[in-house]
Structure formats: C-alpha cells, structure tokens
Amino acid sequence: ELEELYGQVLAQWNRYMGHVAANIGGVYKTLKTYAQEGPVYEFVPEETQRRAMAFFAEHAFTPPTWMIDEDVLRRIENV
C-alpha cells in the first residue's frame, strides 16, 4: 500500500539523519580487555562533526522536496 511504503521511506530517512546526528558531539566507545592499551572513549573527530553539520545543512535543515510529492500525499492523506 502506498501509505505504508511512503511511511517506510520517511522512517528510513529519519534513520539516516539519526546516524548523522550521532556524529555531532558524539563519542566512540571501543570495548577493550584490561590488557589492551588506549582509551575506551574518544570524541568524534572535529572534521567528522563538521562534515555531519554540513550534511544536515544541505539535507535536513531544508525540506526534502523529493519526499514532498503532492500527488502521493493527496492519495494517502487529506492535503
């Protein structure tokens, strides 16, 4: 059904945005044994965070016009 498919596309887009958001102010956790050296927690590198913000600026902070198809929306809800 069109409504279910459209909902799945929106949900997938939200998952992608969540993965990007995790890089902003995020922390990597590397599980180690007591014998392994190095930190368990490390901040996401600054450049990765900058790229994530740039991605958001381009893809999330403006409406994703490819998802706003009025013909599809009319078929699944009252527009």
pLDDT at 66: 86
pLDDT at 44: 97
Domain boundaries, the chain: 2-76
pLDDT in tens, 52-70: 999 999 998 888 888 888 8
Q: Which element (helix H / strand E) includes 43?
A: strand 41-43
45-52 — which CB contacts under 8 Å span 24+ positions? 48/23, 49/23, 49/24, 49/25, 51/23, 52/20, 52/21, 52/23, 52/24
pLDDT at 79: 47
pLDDT at 78: 63
Ordered alpha helix ranges (H), 1-79: 2-21, 46-59, 70-76
pLDDT in tens, 6-43: 999 999 999 999 999 999 999 999 999 999 999 999 99
